[in-house]
Each structure stands twice: as C-alpha cells, then as structure tokens.
Amino acid sequence: MRKKRSRKYILIAKADINTFVKYRSDNYLNTLTFLQKKYTKFCFANIYSNTGSDKGKLIYTFGKHKGLQPAY
C-alpha cells in the first residue's frame, strides 16, 4: 500500500458570506486564481505551510483588495 502524497500548502478561504472552503495544493497561486473564478464573492484566504519545520504555520494571507501579503 502506497502512502498518500502530501501537498505543500493548505488554503482556507472564505468563499461566501457563510461558506469556508479548504484546499490542499502544491501551487497556491493557481489555487487562488481558481477560487476567484469559482466563487464570485471570494473575500480572503489564509495559506499555511504543510511541509518542513513550518508545518501548520500561516505563511501568506490573500485579501480581495490588498492582494497577497506575507503573514505577520
């Protein structure tokens, strides 16, 4: 039995007024583009690392108006 491959990033995004979605991805920029196309009321996303010593830490935030920014 093969072990399931881990993705590099986890994105948690507010897709609508009451809806949050979670995606695992190797390329967060393509995933952000996908979210903007799929969810018209997409507000923001938090991007977490899923590998290495920073596993589970917030590394980027993306806002509808401010764009992609490093985490505080």
pLDDT of amino acid 45: 94
How far, in Å, CA of 13 to CA of 57, rounded? 16
> What is the band of 70 on the pLDDT scale with cuts at 50, 70, 90?
very high
- What mean pLDDT do residues 61-70 have? 91
Full-model pTM:
0.85
Question: Which own/partner pairs from 35-38 qualify as long-range (CB within 8 Å, at least 24 positions apart)?
Answer: 35/11
Break the chain into its structural domains and give their ranges: 9-70
pLDDT of amino acid 52: 85
At 13-59, the pLDDT tens digits run 998 889 999 999 999 999 999 999 999 888 999 999 998 888 989 99
Q: What is the DSSP string of 44-63?
A: EEEEEE-SGGGTT-EEEEEE
Beta-bridge partners for 59:
none
